[in-house]
Amino acid sequence: MAPEFVAGFMILSLIAHYFLFYNKKRWASYEKEFKDESSEESLRGKIKVLAYLIGSTLGAIPLMLLLGKIFHTI
């Protein structure tokens, strides 16, 4: 796969994750929104976030391979 394509995808992914998850203003609104949830709801939410992180990381690998086959760069 073309190194430029992989690097570009990784940079765009990092920028998107920053604005979705690491932005301090957003975190403050998340904390405010979920401060009254029960421990069961909190655990369920943590499992969903963990599943998203693992799925998006592992899902990127077959996506890269598929795009490589589509554009014949592998």
DSSP characters over 26-37 = HHHHHHHHHTT-
pLDDT of residue 73: 57
**Span 1-48, pLDDT tens digits:** 566 777 788 888 888 877 777 777 777 887 888 889 999 999 998 999
pTM tops 0.85: no
Q: H or E stretch including 3?
A: helix 3-17
What are the contacts of 68-72 at 24+ separation with CB within 8 A? 68/1, 71/5
User: Domain residue spans in the chain?
Assistant: 3-70
pLDDT of residue 68: 78
